[in-house]
Each structure stands twice: as structure tokens, then as C-alpha cells.
């Protein structure tokens, strides 16, 4: 039997309600990190008043089991999720203050413009301690020029 630590691999597990895809990072037969992907639509207003629309994939519910934390599996999860994300989609996530630095290190840009999202009760504004982070693989959105982002469809 080998003493080597098994290399992490990933599996898309299921398609749930409203097309939610679950992505698991596995080490051997153990799930270490889980999260889900949802399809959303963005309306983006830039500082010159132009509005553009973009398809987006939102990442949410990301969680590493406590015994596997601080070993880099968050980055593995993002890489795995990227394989499940349509290549033209903007990638988005919401994160708390404590994860802003780590997410910047992992390549995300934290938005400092107004971000709103749909709720069953109407449109809500992102609370101040929650940040939206974004990656546009095709560089069609320059975060520095954004005035507002509307996320259409319920949040994740």
C-alpha cells in the first residue's frame, strides 16, 4: 500500500433545484470541500452610464471540512468549479470580510461599487460586510470602471 497522500480530485455531484450544480473536491473517498454553482444574469452599469449584460456563474455554499482547512483546498475547489463554468461566463461570489484577502490572493477582484440582487421581496443591496468578487475570463468587465452591478435571479 502506498503512503502517498492521494491527489485531490473533483466530482460534479448532482443537478438540484433550478439547475444548481454541486461540486465536490475529494481526497481519496473523502469529500474535503463542497460548494455549488448557479446561473445568473448581470446588468452592469459603468461610470459613463453604459449598461452591459453578461451571463454569470455564481459560486456559493463553499465549505471545507474543519479537519482539512488551511491546506489549499479552496483554490482546488475554484479550479474544479471553473471546469463546470461555461467559458464565456463571468464568475461571481459573495464573501465575508475575513475571506477578502485570501480571495484576492486567489485572483478574485473585490467590487467596491453598489451591488444589488433579487429577493422574493424585491431588490436588495449587498450588506456592507459582504463583498462581491468577480472574475471575467474574457476581460469584458473592468471592475475599476463599474458604477453598479445588478444580479438578476435570486441570490445564491
Site of grid cell 502506498: 2
**Closest separation in Å from C-beta 107 to ligand COA:** 12
Coil, strand or helix: which one is 30? Answer: strand
Of 9, 41, 50, 102, the one binding ligand COA (CB under 6 A) is 102
Q: Which stretch binds ligand COA (CB under 6 A): 8-16, 37-45, 67-75, 136-144?
A: 67-75
Residue 71 interacts with ligand COA (CB under 6 A)?
yes
| Other beta carbons less than 10 A from residue 17's beta carbon | 6
Q: Does 64 bind ligand COA (CB under 6 A)?
A: yes
The stretch among 9-17, 57-65, 78-86, 145-153 that binds ligand COA (CB under 6 A) is: 57-65
Contact between 52 and 93 under an 8 Å Cβ cutoff? The reply is: no
- Cα angle, residue 142 at apex, residues 139 and 144 outer, rounded to 5°: 155
- What count of other Cβ atoms lies within 10 Å of the Cβ of residue 120? 5
What minimum distance in Å lies between the beta carbon of 52 and ligand COA?
27
- Grouping H, G, I as helix, E, B as strand and the rest as coil, residue 66 is helix
* Interface with ligand COA, residue 70, by CB under 6 A: yes
Determine how many CB atoms are found less than 10 A away from the CB of residue 61: 13
* Residue 74 interacts with ligand COA (CB under 6 A): yes or no: yes
Query: Distance between terminal CA atoms of the chain?
Result: 42
Q: Per rule CB under 6 A, is residue 96 in the interface with ligand COA?
A: yes
Give me the residue label for grid cell 448581470. Answer: 42
Applying CB under 6 A, the span of 61-69, 78-86, 120-128, 147-155 interacting with ligand COA comes to 61-69
Q: Which residues bind ligand COA (CB under 6 A)?
A: 33, 62-64, 69-75, 95-96, 99, 101-102
Amino acid at each position: 500500500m502506498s503512503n502517498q497522500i492521494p491527489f485531490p480530485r473533483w466530482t460534479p455531484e448532482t443537478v438540484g433545484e433550478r439547475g444548481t450544480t454541486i461540486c465536490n473536491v475529494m481526497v481519496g473517498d473523502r469529500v474535503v470541500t463542497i460548494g455549488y454553482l448557479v446561473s445568473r444574469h448581470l446588468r452592469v452599469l459603468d461610470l459613463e452610464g453604459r449598461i452591459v449584460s453578461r451571463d454569470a456563474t455564481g459560486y456559493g455554499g463553499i465549505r471545507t471540512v474543519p479537519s482539512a482547512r488551511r491546506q489549499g483546498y479552496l483554490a482546488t475547489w475554484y479550479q474544479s468549479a471553473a471546469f463546470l463554468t461555461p467559458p464565456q461566463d463571468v464568475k461571481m461570489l459573495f464573501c465575508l470580510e475575513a475571506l477578502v484577502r485570501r480571495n484576492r490572493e486567489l485572483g478574485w477582484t473585490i467590487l467596491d461599487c453598489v451591488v444589488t440582487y433579487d429577493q422574493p421581496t424585491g431588490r436588495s443591496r449587498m450588506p456592507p460586510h459582504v463583498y462581491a468578487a468577480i472574475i471575467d475570463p474574457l476581460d469584458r468587465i473592468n471592475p475599476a470602471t463599474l458604477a453598479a452591478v445588478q444580479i438578476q435571479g435570486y441570490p445564491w
